[in-house]
């Protein structure tokens, strides 16, 4: 892996975007720290079995995306992958798409804008809402603790989102943010999205985020494209935020991401990450329960095939008493794919009466697939309820036989078992569109087409 990001690269990017000095300084400071940090290797605990050897940052093109065109309706020329995702939502509060092929588009409900809700790309936010976005972009406690790739994103972010929900505003319909990186040029390309979400006190909102690309590689050029993202989420007292992430990449792509959510008093964070493809997907999902009554529910579903590799680290941070965290992570792997899951439960000394639950189940559909699960407990308080469990095992052949005896082929039977395995997680997530979307993604991945089964289309009522 190459290391250098030239200072000029940062400066050019910032001047092209016409950024204010405070942000340029911030980018440069992040670059400095980035250069000081050693490259992660598989010997680093957080990077176990994570292979980014083929990623060449030196030669990588930091793409520039045109700023979004504001329209009243979703345009027809959106990337197919994003259209397929949008199909699962009848109505949205806002839609932002940033695509290397079809450009940027923004649709946003005006009534919400009048209430003070902000939904725009990150650069528009820097221009028009600096007071609100600046605290997130320039953290008070500095950048020294941040990971190498978070620093990379801070130095070079070239796309991103700002979502701001004012005090007392409750929004039922989700916001949708899609990113598409479909470059097939020989020189690898990178998108570095930076997402900032702020939900003030007594508010609620949902955000759907899908970065990815499903490029078809025809003549053997397989650029090692990269999406390196950082998501910074803040949930004010008594507020609720739902966050659905759908990662769907072709097998030339790397995704390295960190999301960090701070949850205040009596607030709730509910998130589901779906990962359905990519050469190496590496994601750190961290929730910090900062005040009493804070709760987080983190769900994850991974379906691996081919030689795909997944590394998910979750961090359940309890920094205050009477806080509750749940993590349920399920992974199904076929072919030679592999996954490593590391689940950290961190309970500070003051965080008495913590409830922490962690479960990771892995289903191996092929003898060559491999899954590892590593729980890590760092518990400093003494009055804590903490449970964790992990399983790794093959598909139950009796289930497959039962389904085949009803006429399903082996492949259909496996699809159904995998969907059932995932559904037990996804149906706990309260944004229902995730269920039908997941079944489409699974069907598309297992046999390259949309589900025949209409699996989640319930018809019984």
Partner 1 sequence: MATKAILEIRNLHVAVDGKEILKGVDLTVNAGEVHALMGRNGSGKSTLSYTLMGHPRYEVTEGEVFYHGQNLLELTTDERSRAGMYLAFQYPVAIPGVSVSNFLRTTVKGRRGGDLPVKEFRKELKQLMANLSIKDEFLSRYVNDGFSGGEKKKLEILQMALLKPELALLDETDSGLDIDALRTVAEGINTLKTADRAILLITHYQRMLDYVTPNFVHVMQGGRIVKSGDSDLARELEAHGYDQIAPELAGSAL
Footprint on this chain of partner 1 (rule: CB under 8 A): 396-399, 401-410, 412-413, 416-417, 419-424, 452-460
User: Residue 413 CB, nearest distance to partner 1 (Å)?
Assistant: 8
Q: Between 38 and 367, whose beta carbon lies closer to partner 1?
A: 367
Residues belonging to the chain: 461
Count Cβ neighbours within 10 Å for each residue of 115-154 and write b for 16 or more, e otherwise: eebbbbbbbbbbeeeeebbbebbeeeeebeebbbbbbbbb
Task: Give the Cα separation of 393 and 324 in Å (integer).
Answer: 29
- Among residues 308, 307, 287, 305, the alpha carbon closest in space to that of 296 is found at 287
CA atoms within 13 A on the CB side of 322: 7
Give how far Cα 269 sits from Cα of 238, 242, 308, Å: 11, 6, 29
Q: How many CA atoms lie within 13 A of 446 on its CB side?
A: 26
CB of 362 to partner 1, least distance (A): 15
* Residue closer to partner 1, measured from CB, 311 or 334: 334
Distance CA 330, CA 202 (A): 32
Identity of the residue, 43 or 406, whose beta carbon is nearer to partner 1 in the bound complex? 406
Smallest separation (angstroms) from partner 1 to the CB of 209: 25
C-alpha–C-alpha distance, residues 101 and 64, integer Å: 11
Q: Select 391 or 424, whichever has its Cβ closest to partner 1.
A: 424
Shorter beta-carbon distance to partner 1: residue 22 or 402: 402
- Smaller CB distance to partner 1: residue 8 or 460? 460
Query: Min. distance of Cβ 456 from partner 1 in angstroms?
Result: 7
Taking the complex as a whole, how short is the minimal distance between the CB of residue 402 and partner 1, in angstroms?
4
- Our CB check for partner 1 shows the closer of 282 and 361 to be 361
The closest of 266, 224, 102, 236 to 169, measured between CA atoms, is: 236
Question: In what helix (H) or strand (E) does residue 325 lie, and over which residues does it extend?
Answer: strand 324-333
201 C-beta neighbours (distance < 10 Å), count: 17
Rounded CA separation 232/218 (Å): 37
Smallest separation, CB 398 to partner 1 (Å): 5
Q: Minimum CB separation from partner 1 for residue 283, in Å?
A: 24
Tell me whether residue 66 or residue 428 sits nearer to partner 1 (CB atom). Answer: 428
CB of residue 267 to partner 1, shortest distance in Å: 30
Q: Could you give the CA distance from residue 148 to residue 294 in angstroms, rounded to a whole number?
A: 29
286: exposed, middle or buried (C-beta count within 10 Å: 0-12, 13-18, 19+)? buried
């Amino acid at each position: 892996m190459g290391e250098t990001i030239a200072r000029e690269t940062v400066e050019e990017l910032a001047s092209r975007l016409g950024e204010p000095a405070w942000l340029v300084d911030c980018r440069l400071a992040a670059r400095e720290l980035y250069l000081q940090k050693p490259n992660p290797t598989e010997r680093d605990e957080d990077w176990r079995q994570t292979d980014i050897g083929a990623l060449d940052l030196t030669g990588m093109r930091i793409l520039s995306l045109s700023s979004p065109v504001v329209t009243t309706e979703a345009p027809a020329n959106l990337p197919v992958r994003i259209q397929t995702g949008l199909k699962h939502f009848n109505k949205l509060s806002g839609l932002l798409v940033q695509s290397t092929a079809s450009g940027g588009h923004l649709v946003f409900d005006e009534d919400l804008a009048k209430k003070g809700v902000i939904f725009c790309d990150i650069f528009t936010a820097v221009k028009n809402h600096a007071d609100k976005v600046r605290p997130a972009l320039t953290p008070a406690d500095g950048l020294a603790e941040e990971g190498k790739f978070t620093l990379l994103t801070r130095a070079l972010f070239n796309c991103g989102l700002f979502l701001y929900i004012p005090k007392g505003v409750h929004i039922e319909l989700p916001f949708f943010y899609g990113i598409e990186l479909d470059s097939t040029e020989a020189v690898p390309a990178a998108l570095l999205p930076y997402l900032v979400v702020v939900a003030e006190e007594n508010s609620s909102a949902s955000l759907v985020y899908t970065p990815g690309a499903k490029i078809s590689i025809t003549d053997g050029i397989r650029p090692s494209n990269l999406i390196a993202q950082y998501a910074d989420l803040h949930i004010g007292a008594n507020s609720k935020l739902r966050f659905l992430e759908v990662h769907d990449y072709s097998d030339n792509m790397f995704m390295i991401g960190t999301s960090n959510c701070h949850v205040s008093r009596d607030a709730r964070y509910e998130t589901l990450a779906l990962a359905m493809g990519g050469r190496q997907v590496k994601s750190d999902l961290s929730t910090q329960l900062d005040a009493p009554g804070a709760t987080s529910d983190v769900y994850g579903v991974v379906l691996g095939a081919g030689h795909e590799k997944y590394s998910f680290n979750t961090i359940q941070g309890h920094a205050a008493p009477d806080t509750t965290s749940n993590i349920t992570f399920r992974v199904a792997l076929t072919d030679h794919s592999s996954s490593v899951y590391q689940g950290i439960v961190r309970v500070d000394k003051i965080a008495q009466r913590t409830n922490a639950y962690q479960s990771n189940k892995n289903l191996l559909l092929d003898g060559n697939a491999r899954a590892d699960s590593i729980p890590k407990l760092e518990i400093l308080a003494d009055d804590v309820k903490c449970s964790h469990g992990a399983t790794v095992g093959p598909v139950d052949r009796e289930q497959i036989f039962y389904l085949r005896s009803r006429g399903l082929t082996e492949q259909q039977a496996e699809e159904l078992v995998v969907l059932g395995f995932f559904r037990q997680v996804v149906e706990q997530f309260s944004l229902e569109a995730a269920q039908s979307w997941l079944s489409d993604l699974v069907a598309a991945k297992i046999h390259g087409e949309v589900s025949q089964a209409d699996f989640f289309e319930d018809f019984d009522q």
